[in-house]
Amino acid sequence: MIKREIKHFNIEQICRSGQCFRMEAVDHGRYRVIAGNRYLEIFQRGEICEFYCDDRTFENFWSDYFDLGRDYGECIDKINPRDTYLADAAEFGSGIRILHQDLWEMIVTFLISQQNNIVRIRRCVQNICEAYGKECVTDDGISYYAFPEPEVLAQLGEDDLKACNLGYRSKYVVRTARDVVFGNVNLDKIRSMSYKKAKAELLKLFGVGDKVADCICLFALHHLEAFPRDTHMNQVMEKHYKRGFPNRRYKGMQGIMQQYIFHYELFGKQKA
């Protein structure tokens, strides 16, 4: 077990922020997350966090996964004090961090996310993991399922994932898996690309539009300049940023600000 005191880290806020759909509460203050084929439980009380893994796994994987090397307080301090809406959003969601997740998992996850809600996305992801992912068991005897590899999903018929409640999104996932397996899409190359080039490459995938591509860039590739916009976020921009979001001021951290706004709109008790 690794114990750390971490400022600007709130596992509950991260869990409900719409970045990760394999994270859930298991008890008061205790959460579990499955990333690829890895399993972790976290207990948090205030700024004290306990990560139930060994030192090597924490340093080599989970620290980067939770972006623990970044001072999010510095990002919040750069918010224009006259922008009371964004300041309120950041204060409300000050424990959010941008997760650094697996590219393949995020491609599939956000293909599934289209015209969907968080509860249903979680269920769909769980369904395909249980149906096609490898069963794993922790040292403590906890059973879970790894995220299915593209080689497995590429063998399916285009409608097979409808049985996992994906609906019309089934063909998006299966065709993308085939593109990865047959070499039409090179995930390693995408990982090394700049934000603009990576987004352009992702837009070539069947079923991927601007918003999905930006979500993948932000939550998998950690391009923090990505600013996912759907109809809901466009309404926010129209209401609070009629002249456009101040990208220049928040260069290199637009995605962090987007998450503060997204979370605030979903869960904030008072709207600016």
Active site residues: 211
Residue with tokens 């369904």: 127
Query: Residues 38, 61: contact at Cβ < 8 Å?
Result: yes
- Find, among 60, 20, 16, the residue nearest to 219 by Cα: 20
Q: What angle do CA 170, 122, 109 make, to 5 degrees?
A: 50
Q: How many CA atoms lie within 13 A of 189 on its CB side?
A: 9
User: CA-to-CA distance for 216 and 185, rounded, in angstroms?
Assistant: 15
Other Cβ atoms within 10 Å of 210 Cβ, number: 13
| DSSP at 147 | P
